[in-house]
Chain A
Amino acid sequence: MLLTGLGAAFFYLFAFVAIASAVMVISARNPVHSVLYLILTFFNAAALFILTGAEFLGMILLVVYIGAVAVLFLFVVMMLDVDFASMKRGALDYAPIGAMVGIVLASELLIVLGAQFIGVGQPGSVASPTPDPLTRTNTAALGDIIYTDYIFFFQIAGMVLLVAMIGAIVLTLRPTRPGVKRQNMGKQVARKVEDSIDVVDVETGKGL
């Protein structure tokens, strides 16, 4: 099914911006700009998902990748003093290997697509296509599977995560270690303007 009309226009818009910003991610000199372009790429990918009716995936991409992962990247890039310019210097040397991986991936994609046309038989997912998004949204479908059919596994997964959390705290938290600065909320809330700010009238040219 090919997109037509307004849908097609939006598709080409989002796809073009996604590819252009993806190129900018690897070519921008400033790493902060790279991360910002990465966010733009994610955002356009999310828009593409929504355009094809996979609204749940689109929203998850927004929440998880942009809301958490990209922000984390941004923090890391801004806080660590990594010399990205020198890391990128030899990047072109890897171009032949990169091209080879690309060719392999592309040919695999062609084989998968070609197999359908020469009639090897359709994979199960194509044989029973997803229902029309207008009659059944995929958020509801996923919810049914995860929270009703597979509720048991979902709950055990929750318990596994609980154990992981307890384990991490048990093995690493040392409340009595000296020299560790801890947050004291009472102290923070009790701070007053008078204790924290000194208004000083500095004479011009004198300094403090």
Chain B
Amino acid sequence: MTVVELTQSLNIAAPELALAVGSMVLLMIGVFAPKDSANSTVTGLAVALLIGVLGWMVFFDEQGTAFGGAFVQDAFAYFFKILTLVGSIVALVMSVGFAREEKFDRFEFPILIILATLGMMLMISATSLLSLYMALELQSLALYVIAAINRDSARSTEAGLKYFVLGALSSGMMLYGISLVYGFTGHVGFTEIAAALTGQERSVGLLFGLAFLLTGLAFKISAVPFHMWTPDVYEGAPTPVTAFFAAAPKMAAMAMLVRVVTDAFGTVTGDWQQIIIFISIASMALGAVAAIGQNNIKRLMAYSSIGHMGYALVGLAAGTVAGVQGVLVYMAIYLAMTLGTFAFILAMRRKDEGNVESINDLAGYAQNNPLQATVLTILMFSLAGIPPLAGFWGKWYVFLAAVEAGLYPLAIIGVVASVVGAFYYLRIIKIMWFDEPESKFVSAAGELRLVMGLSGIFVVGFIVFGGPIAAYAENAAKALF
């Protein structure tokens, strides 16, 4: 690699570079700032840094491959990186009020969020198995620490430990798969692997490698049967952390999965398609059924996110441009709905009890605060997939792609699962509007109301501005084919 190539590479990876350097600068600021204001100072600067990088990505469209083909900045990467950054920014903003109330005042929290975001952006851009694995580890390691950041709470520590042990296991499986793929193709770069797979008879070893690789990736998006960690980690981690887990890392892991199967294994579609179909059906079914018995709203959202990953994978199973476009649109809508719902969960706070997490605590929300209850009702309808809200259009795109690809059974199972899954979203609505009122929540912090409002507008208005988003997603999906 010459100096010119290196300069070009750094230019292409400038947003990542800014995050990496920025995190270290913030670390210094956090160490030397006065103890009582360190968290708020660093959080403010971290949000500013992330917004700056987001603005950079929107206005300077610097595309190309870098670092000898290990890193790519294309339309697909841009789409998912913008989603990831939005997820990180909103989760960080939503943590401010919580940090004030719950003595959650570690300045390392925003820095770890930035480092995790850096890992996610590298994951989205990874075009070699080596950079994919390194980026994944960077992201995962930061997430393990974030899960356990409330170290005086036994549940938070348990969540961190559980996530770490299972995450290490899945990383090990993935690494085994990577080594098999490398051994049977002789390459780690996605384009080289794809070239090595064309026209040549596939060996059983390669299929084993592919299966192990997909196992690791499925763990990261918490798809069934690798979902076991999700409810416990979501419940145990502090709520802003859960909001972050449900949003940004899902974007990055899904982007990585889509890129691996379409880029590196695009020539052997039949081999991974059956695996994706299986985990998609299993996730949809489990997400629909297992959430019914949950009373803790964070656990309920965990099962809900498992189900939503299943729906998104329906689009990937189609393996076409329309299918990948469906995945992109679905993930964008999922992000908006999830962040909005978590703003409500963070606002579930009583003066004497602090934060409450049972769905029965929502009883009488409609009488105590009709406006917010209406927005939450809209979000629940959208999560259930009721037209004309955003959640319906997400499902529309992925199911349509599946039908066009001839995967009728998959689309039918998806529709059935979303009908079953509608039950628990409707139950929350019923508790809010028809149950005997409990005591009021304290009025929500300004930033939470902002997130609620924005996500409500997105969900309702998607029918109007969904077209440009879908067009942008189609452009991004074409970058992979």
Contact = CB atoms under 8 A, between A and B. Distances in A.
Contacts of A166: 27, 108, 111-112, 115, 145
- Residue in A149, A159, A164, A171 whose Cβ sees the most chain B Cβ within 10 Å: A159
B141 A163 contact: yes
B217 to A, nearest CB: 18
Contact of B67 (A151, A157, A162, A169): A151
Contact of B115 (A152, A153, A162, A171): A162
A164 to B, nearest CB: 6
Given A149-B1, A149-B68, A152-B70, A163 B122 contact: no
Nearest to B160: A171
A162 B111 CA distance: 11
Contacts of B145: 163, 166-167, 170-171
Interface in B138-161: 138, 141-142, 144-145, 148-149, 151, 160
B156 to A, nearest CB: 10
B138 A160 contact: yes
A148 interface: yes
Given A149-B68, A156-B122, A163-B115, A170 B108 contact: yes
B108 A159 contact: no
Interface residues of A, number: 18
Contacts of A169: 108
A151 B68 CA distance: 10
B112 A156 contact: no
Nearest to B20: A159
A123 to B, nearest CB: 14
B67 A159 contact: no
A161 to B, nearest CB: 9
A159 B138 contact: yes
Given A159-B115, A171-B151, A151 B1 contact: yes
B149 A170 contact: yes
A151 B10 CA distance: 11
Interface string A140-162: 00000000110111011101101
A155 B118 CA distance: 12
Interface string B1-35: 10000100100000000001000100100000000
Contacts of A163: 112, 115, 138, 141-142, 145
Nearest to A148: B1
A121 to B, nearest CB: 16
B115 to A, nearest CB: 5
Contacts of A162: 24, 115
Given A148-B1, A153-B130, A170 B68 contact: no
A156 B115 CA distance: 11
B122 A170 contact: no
- Residue in A153, A162, A163, A171 whose Cβ sees the most chain B Cβ within 10 Å: A163
Nearest to B19: A159
B137 to A, nearest CB: 6
Contacts of A155: 20
A157 B141 CA distance: 12
Given A149-B68, A170-B149, A156 B134 contact: yes
Contacts of B115: 159, 162-163, 166
B187 interface: no
B141 A164 contact: yes
B109 to A, nearest CB: 8
B106 interface: yes
Contacts of B119: 159
A167 B144 contact: yes
B131 A152 contact: yes
Contacts of A149: 1, 68
Nearest to A149: B1
Contact of A156 (B27, B131, B148): B131
Interface in B73-119: 106, 108, 111-112, 115, 118-119
B356 to A, nearest CB: 27
Interface in A57-98: none
A159 to B, nearest CB: 5
Nearest to A155: B20
Contacts of B20: 155, 159
B130 A167 contact: no
A3 B70 CA distance: 43
Contacts of B141: 160, 163-164, 167
A156 B125 CA distance: 13
A170 B38 CA distance: 14
Nearest to B149: A170
B151 to A, nearest CB: 6
A152 B108 contact: no
B252 interface: no
Interface string B194-229: 000000000000000000000000000000000000
B172 to A, nearest CB: 16
Contact of A153 (B108, B131, B149): B131
Nearest to B151: A171
A41 B228 CA distance: 48
Contacts of A153: 70, 130-131, 134
Nearest to B142: A163
Contacts of A157: 134
B11 to A, nearest CB: 14
Contacts of B142: 163, 167
Nearest to A144: B1
B135 interface: yes
Given A151-B6, A166-B27, A167-B145, A156 B67 contact: no
Interface of A: 148-149, 151-153, 155-157, 159-160, 162-164, 166-167, 169-171
22 contacts: A151-B1, A152-B66, A152-B68, A153-B70, A153-B130, A156-B135, A159-B118, A160-B137, A160-B141, A163-B115, A164-B141, A166-B108, A166-B112, A166-B145, A167-B145, A169-B108, A170-B149, A170-B151, A171-B148, A171-B149, A171-B151, A171-B160
Given A156-B135, A160-B141, A167-B144, 13 more contacts: A148-B1, A149-B68, A152-B66, A153-B70, A156-B131, A156-B134, A162-B115, A163-B112, A163-B141, A167-B142, A169-B108, A170-B112, A171-B149
Per CB-CB distance, the 5 closest pairs between chain A and chain B, nearest first, are A167-B145, A152-B67, A156-B134, A170-B108, A163-B141
